[in-house]
Structure 1
Amino acid sequence: MVISTILNFIYPPPPSLFTTAMSVVTAASLANAGLSEVRGVHLQYSKFTLAANKKVPSRTGMLVLYSPAFLAGLASFAVFPGGGLRFLVLRSAISLHFFKRILEVLFVHKFSGGMGVDSMVLISFSYFLSTATLIYSQHLSQGLPNPPVDLVYPGIALFLVGMAGNLYHHILLSRLRREGDREYRIPAGGLFGRVICPHYFFEAIEFVGISFIAQTVYSCSWTLGVLFYFLGRSHATRRWYTSKFEDFPEDVKALIPYIF
């Protein structure tokens, strides 16, 4: 009964040991990364780079994070030509997501520190592998029975809302300080009055939109893992702000307004 209900919304798992293993590994590793953030073991970027032994400038590190995944998205149009509307929209959404992130690194973000080399390599590889697996899993789904419930168009709507909200809150963060200013302040405006990480909140909406577009087992596992990571990272971020600012508002949550 449960499986038949789930199959109304996703493609049947393709006969691929690789995508099956990656579905488990991706969800488990991202969830573990989220738990590590809660425990105080942070990926070394943004305000949590102090413990990193080897660093690169944040702008350089962020470009390394997003560029391989963006190139993988672009390359998929040549590697897997055709494939129908769903495949086209998925590849376009993934490529657009990482292209936007690159543009933000170049023209929006203001950086105050470095990025740990180990974290840079790990995150960059994770983005690249997740992107390639998302696309490959969708390719393997070609020819399988379509899910009875088509979520492509709701997925597009969620993706666009998430991307716009994420960009808006990144712009608000960039306006907190001038170039070269290394002082942190409590963010304000938008949803910052409700959660300390609204940029994560809207990025999570983006990824839910991508999983709706794809409707594959891997896309759902990947999105679930990302959500667990965002929960842990936002919790650690809120804890950092409350430790630095005595006037941090108690009613401002970590990630989900009014809830968490």
Structure 2
Amino acid sequence: MTALARAQLRADEAAAAPPTSVELGRVFVAFAMLAVQGTRRLYECRFVLRPSKSPMLVPHWLLGIAFYTFMGLAVWIHGSGAILAAWTSGRPAIVVTPRVPSAVALFLMASLKQNECHCYLAGLKKYTLPSEGLFRHLVCPHYSCECVIYLAIAFVAAPPGSLFNPSVLCGLVFVAGNLGVTARTTKQWYARKFGADNVAGRWAMIPFVF
């Protein structure tokens, strides 16, 4: 009887303890965002962007696959508690929570703007300086949108007590670092090709930062 009472006490304490896992509904939303992002980028690579004369190196291709795998694992790790609990409880997931509308709105806005940038770049004549839309203020706004997309995912997939999902933020730092180097190089190339004055008033990727 004593052992049974202790087991019941531990169960009650566990039930009363604050949750440490991301809510199941937000886990679903984060996975949906990742799926939409991956599907849209695949579509753009196949049907929107012009084929590059420089083929992607195998290590870069493997790095991309590893990145998308890591991002999925990052969401799963912080939501695994809710996923496992749902298998036993059978309770339905609540998708619309306070974080979801703002995160989805930010994600959709960044996704649409990135697609707009990609379509614009695909329609440019060779060696033409992009100068419409967000390109009036940024050299690589499509890179900026990429960062905002993962920021939205990090926000919606944040565990209790956190503003962002720390694992997804690590992925965001990786993306920002890699794209930031490319954006700076692109701005330098534009300056040499079209004149420094034509890009002097544009940020490379992050407004008011660089």
TM-score with structure 2 setting the length = 0.72
Q: By how many angstroms is 1:150 displaced?
A: 5.1
Equivalent in 29, 43, 46 of residue 106 of structure 1: 46
Summarize the alignment of residues 1-260 of structure 1 with structure 2, pairs less than 5 Å apart. Answer: 12=20, 84-142=24-82, 151-177=99-125, 183-215=126-158, 216-246=165-195, 248-260=198-210
Distance 1:159 1:126 in 2: 22
CA 235–141 in structure 1, closer or farther in 2 if over 3 Å, else same: farther
Q: By how many angstroms is 1:86 displaced?
A: 0.7
Q: Check the 8 A contact 2:143/2:205 in 1, yes or no.
A: yes
Q: Give SS of 2:204's match.
A: coil
Distance 1:128 1:90 in 2: 13
CA 194–105 in structure 1, closer or farther in 2 if over 3 Å, else same: same
Q: By how many angstroms is 1:162 displaced?
A: 0.7
Q: Check the 8 A contact 2:183/2:204 in 1, yes or no.
A: yes
* Equivalent residue letter for 1:90: A
CA 101–116 in structure 1, closer or farther in 2 if over 3 Å, else same: closer
Q: By how many angstroms is 1:176 displaced?
A: 0.1
Question: Kindly, what percent of the aligned residue pairs are identical?
Answer: 23
Aligned length: 172
CA 158–109 in structure 1, closer or farther in 2 if over 3 Å, else same: same
CA 117–226 in structure 1, closer or farther in 2 if over 3 Å, else same: closer
Distance 1:105 1:219 in 2: 24
Distance 1:210 1:141 in 2: 18
The unaligned stretches of length 5 or more in structure 2 are: 1-18, 86-96, 159-164
Please provide the CA RMSD for this pair. 2.5
* Equivalent residue letter for 1:162: A
Q: Give SS of 1:109's match.
A: coil
Deviating 4+ runs (over 4 angstroms): 11-14
CA 227–151 in structure 1, closer or farther in 2 if over 3 Å, else same: farther
Distance 2:102 2:72 in 1: 23
Q: By how many angstroms is 1:233 displaced?
A: 2.1
Q: By how many angstroms is 1:241 displaced?
A: 1.7
Q: Give SS of 1:114's match.
A: coil
Distance 1:259 1:197 in 2: 13
Q: Deviations over 1:130-150 (max 9, x none)?
A: 23322322432426xxxxx95
Q: Check the 8 A contact 1:108/1:174 in 2, yes or no.
A: yes
Q: Check the 8 A contact 1:195/1:254 in 2, yes or no.
A: yes
The unaligned stretches of length 5 or more in structure 1 are: 1-10, 15-82, 144-148, 178-182
Partner residue in 1 for 2:88: none
TM-score with structure 1 setting the length = 0.59
Distance 1:195 1:100 in 2: 22
Moved more, 223-232 or 160-169: 223-232
Q: Which has the higher relative contact order, 1 or 2, with Cα contacts under 8 A spaced 6 or more apart?
A: 1
Distance 1:119 1:237 in 2: 22
